Amino acid sequence: MVSISSLVTVKSKEVKALFASCAFFFLILCAYYIIRPIRDEMVIANGVGNIQWILLATVITLILLTPVFGWVTTRFKTKQFLSYCILFFASHLVGFYFLFNVENRPAIVTQAFYVWVNVFNMFIVSLFWSFMNDVFGKEQVKRLFAFIAAGGTAGAICGPIITRGLVENVGLAPLLLISATTLALSVLLVFWLIRWQNDDYDNCSVSRQVKDKALKGGVMGGFTLVVRSPYLAGICVFILLYATSITFVQIRQAELVAEAYSVPEKRTQLFATIDLVVNVLVLLFQLFLTSRIINWLGFSKTLIIVPFGITIGFGVMAFVPVLAVMISLEVFRRVGDYAIMKPAREMLFSVVSREEKYKAKNFIDTTILRTGSASSSWIYKGVASIGMQGLGIAAVSVALGLAWCFIAYWLGKQFTRLQNSQILAAKTPQSRDK
């Protein structure tokens, strides 16, 4: 075993793949975080009161794309459909460059860009972690995922720095080309990691090499896999409750920012600053605390940290509804999500089949997540429309938060049970041979 700066324990033959995975995630999240502040500005430019319609459009788009994704994964090898998806999104950024680079940008472009960024983020990050669960085995994910996530966080730090430093001088449109170039470069790492997996890794070569084949099942395989599995259905409920918290925080934050700032560039800078602060904190957590927290608390309790904290945070917001408190809650939510809950959540898929890792996971991370976001935006709108925006949102959040904590604890127990069962099943043939 080789220790890299006492941060991660990695076998000598895993080192190159570990850094390649970090670089892959770095490029993806750097590309995303270059344009994320622009997306957040689009919410205000389009009118915060219309966000529920934009989120509904996102859900419809994802539903329409689900069978397309299912078709692609059943007809192309892993490296092909991953590369096609990455280049597909990169080409769209080039298209948006020309739509943004006009004097009077139409509102439909602003709305379309917000929907597109949501779809892009969901698909690309979900595919990345599916790929990581494919590249690395069950024992490896516990050791390596936190460090790989830190590579992505480094990219998430660079993205806002680029946007914050350039937006006032070059405007919004050129940033899209920078993002597209960064994203396209990640395709090279897809090919390298698959070659490493098949040629260089000293594991059972047959079981590893079949992973660059097309997936089984139909175009709606993700949906049918979820329906058949209580474990995957539980993850769906977890994601729906997670989406509700994200949406409530984002809408309230957008409302308060719109009241405080009137200039688009200033709002974009504020969002980039929040991104930068969040991602620096996330990187520190991922490098020094994430793995230790999971070991200290156990898997189930780790999944509860963020739901419990957000529930308390909304209670505070009910009585102190100011921008500083809202930003603090957003920082806690995102740091807790990316540094603690996200790596743990991705581990949930390390105990499922390969088809479930790609199809079911993608369906959950895209359609289910955005369905939760859209529906919760209507709940927020409904509660606010009857004059109960403060206490009403807090009451709803507390109730949903408690349910979120319960399902998180249950999923942690199910994960441990499935993992132990698979470890036992893997040992059984060897014991019989003896």
Least confident of 187-196, 331-340, 346-355: 346-355
* Residue that has been written with the tokens 């999240």 in this structure: 29
Per-residue pLDDT, averaged over 199-226, amounts to 54
Determine if the pTM surpasses 0.75.
no
- The domain containing residue 227 runs over which residues? 12-202+213-424
Interacting residues of 291 by C-beta distance below 8 A, sequence separation 6+? 8, 142, 143, 146
Per-residue pLDDT, averaged over 152-162, amounts to 87
- Higher model confidence: residue 193 or residue 434? 193
| pLDDT 10s digits, 23-65 | 999 999 999 999 988 887 776 666 555 666 777 777 788 777 7
Asked if residue 432 belongs to a domain, the reply is: no
| pLDDT 10s digits, 416-429 | 888 888 777 766 65
| Rounded Cα–Cα distance for residues 22 and 189 (Å) | 10
Percent residues over pLDDT 90 in the chain: 12
Q: How many CA atoms lie within 13 A of 383 on its CB side?
A: 19
Asked if residue 3 belongs to a domain, the reply is: no
Using an 8 Å Cβ cutoff, are 70 and 217 in contact? yes
Assign residue 5 a region: left if phi > 0, alpha if psi is -120 to 50, beta otherwise?
left
155-164, 204-213, 391-400, range with greatest mean pLDDT: 155-164
Asked if residue 4 belongs to a domain, the reply is: no
Write the CA distances from 371 to 54, 246, 365, 402, integer angstroms: 12, 12, 10, 20
Using an 8 Å Cβ cutoff, are 145 and 18 in contact? no
Asked if residue 100 belongs to a domain, the reply is: yes
To 10 degrees, the CA torsion angle through 378, 380, 381, 384? 160
CB count within 10 Å of CB 177 equals: 16
Whether residue 22 is predicted with pLDDT greater than 90 in this model: the reply is yes
Q: What integer pLDDT is reported at residue 205 of this predicted model?
A: 40
Provide DSSP, 35-72: HHHHHHHHHHHH-GGGHHHHHHHHHHHHHHHHHHHHHH
| Rounded Cα–Cα distance for residues 351 and 420 (Å) | 10
Using an 8 Å Cβ cutoff, are 124 and 86 in contact? yes
Asked if residue 430 belongs to a domain, the reply is: no
Q: Nearest Cα to 83, choosing from 127, 126, 22?
A: 127
Q: What integer pLDDT is reported at residue 388 of this predicted model?
A: 62
3-state secondary structure of 3: strand
Asked if residue 417 belongs to a domain, the reply is: yes
| pLDDT 10s digits, 76-135 | 666 677 888 899 899 999 999 998 877 777 878 888 888 888 888 878 887 888 788 778
| pLDDT 10s digits, 126-143 | 788 878 877 887 677 777
| Rounded Cα–Cα distance for residues 270 and 324 (Å) | 12
Asked if residue 6 belongs to a domain, the reply is: no
Using an 8 Å Cβ cutoff, are 200 and 67 in contact? no
Whether residue 432 is predicted with pLDDT greater than 70 in this model: the reply is no
Tally of structural domains, the chain: 1
| Rounded Cα–Cα distance for residues 56 and 373 (Å) | 8
CATH number at residue 365: 1.20.1250.20
Asked if residue 395 belongs to a domain, the reply is: yes
